[in-house]
Amino acid sequence: MDSLDLEVLRQARQWHADGRRVWLVTVLETWGSAPRPPGALLAMRDDGQVVGSVSGGCVEDDLIDRVRKGERVARPSLVSYGVTKDEAARFGLPCGGTLRLVQEPLADTGWIDEVLARTARHELVARRLVLASGAVTLEPASRDDAFAFDGQVMRATYGPRWRLMIVGAGQLSRAVAEIALLCDFEVICCDPREEYHLSWNVAGSRFSKAMPDDLVLELRLDAHSAVVALTHDPKLDDMTLLEALKSPAFYIGALGSRVNTARRRERLAQFELTAEQIARLHGPIGLDLGAKTPAEIAVAILAEIIAVRHGVALAQKKPGSAYPAAGEAPALAEGPVCGTSRGPQSMKA
């Protein structure tokens, strides 16, 4: 579940507290080119006001129209849109897409209170809805859990499924953290240097003064984790990479020019890392967007992380860079290099 859906739950809770009738609408299944994925959430008030989205807009208009005309769903009910080609066109579902939703009355907000409290602690929690009875229960979830519906029970996961560890608390790190939070990453910044961590003030992120290589081990990085080393201090960056490159993290990158990236790879090769592990390192970090400012470089870095997460080929890279091929086993490859190498000199190792 992304941050938008958590905002939907907050607003639904407030409407309920104000004495309004509220319904939650969740995307259960899609076929074709439906615009929103399973699990996408919308809340609708008894006067037709909505927050969130389950389609490109036309389905929402129909749901609003139903409520304004007096429809009051008293128990979880299934509704489908785009079953025929004409309906798909009417409701703005491209290519004959089909959308299946569940609409449920919000009778109690206790579970929302718990979900919001647990996700605020960066916990993952799953909500089970039994359609026949409307019963809701909460249970622990893992990062590997995905939205599921078996025809009778819906299971939705709440909380950040993706995690980003940032090494270094400088200006670029703050920009990376802010953008990553907008992209629904859990963000942990690590910097043991006193002069840096005192100025860290990114709301919604976590901060650690531990040595970053120790934190890598403590976090037990998994396939939903990414690491970016941004300090320019080999004592911190390289020690982090030595541990991170042995982990299942889906993305590991380090700031630096192509020359300094090559030197870093030579240093890493002197330790107990295999050639395959070293080849997992993305460097120079980020896509080639012509980035110059810290904010632009942060966009380039997050763009590459998101591309790797979705298995998209890293076409927007500079010639001469080595990076793992998207969707394949990590391997050294000729390809473009990141836009950070075009940044100001202060951004280069």
73 with 173, same domain: the answer is: no
CA neighbours within 13 Å on the CB side: how many for 316? 18
The 3-state DSSP class for residue 177 equals helix
116 with 190, same domain: the answer is: no
Q: Is residue 140 part of a domain?
A: no
Q: Is residue 236 part of a domain?
A: yes
188 with 324, same domain: the answer is: yes
* Backbone phi and psi for residue 225, each to the nearest 5 degrees, phi listed first: -110, 145
186 with 280, same domain: the answer is: yes
106 with 222, same domain: the answer is: no
| Boundary residue ending a domain (121, 149, 175) | 121
Residue spans of beta strands (DSSP E) within 32-161: 41-45, 50-52, 77-81, 98-105, 125-130, 136-140, 148-149, 153-158
pTM: 0.69
The dihedral built from the CA positions of residue 297, 298, 299 and 303, taken in this order, carries a sign that is positive
Please tell me the distance from the alpha carbon of residue 226 to that of residue 24, in angstroms, as a whole number. Answer: 33
Q: Is residue 228 part of a domain?
A: yes
60 with 178, same domain: the answer is: no
85 with 183, same domain: the answer is: no
Q: Is residue 132 part of a domain?
A: no
Are 11 and 41 in contact by the 8 Å Cβ rule? The answer is no
| Boundary residue ending a domain (71, 106, 121) | 121
Domain count, the chain: 2
Domain hosting 305: range is 162-347
Q: Is residue 22 part of a domain?
A: yes
Q: Side chain identity at 173, as an amino acid letter?
A: S
183 with 78, same domain: the answer is: no
With CA atoms as reference, report the closest residue to 313 among 327, 303, 299, 302.
Answer: 327
Q: Is residue 305 part of a domain?
A: yes
User: Judging by DSSP bridges, how do beta strands 148-149 and 50-52 pair with one another?
Assistant: unpaired
Q: Is residue 145 part of a domain?
A: no
95 with 210, same domain: the answer is: no
The residues, any chain, with a CB within 8 Å of residue 89's CB and separated by 6 or more, are: none
The enclosing domain of 315 has a CATH number of: 3.40.50.720
Q: Is residue 72 part of a domain?
A: yes
One digit per residue, pLDDT tens: the chain, 349 residues? 556 788 899 999 999 999 999 999 999 988 765 567 889 899 999 999 999 988 867 788 889 988 999 888 899 999 988 756 666 566 666 555 678 899 999 999 999 999 999 887 778 899 999 999 999 999 999 888 889 999 999 999 988 779 999 999 999 999 999 999 988 899 999 999 887 777 888 998 999 999 999 999 999 998 889 999 999 888 899 999 999 999 999 999 999 888 999 999 999 999 989 999 999 999 889 998 989 999 999 999 999 999 999 888 887 776 767 666 544 433 333 333 333 333 332 333 3
CA neighbours within 13 Å on the CB side: how many for 298? 18
109 with 197, same domain: the answer is: no
Helix (H) and strand (E) counts for the chain? 11, 15
201 with 339, same domain: the answer is: yes
Sheet with 206-208: strands ordered across: 206-208, 185-190, 162-167, 225-229, 251-254, 281-282
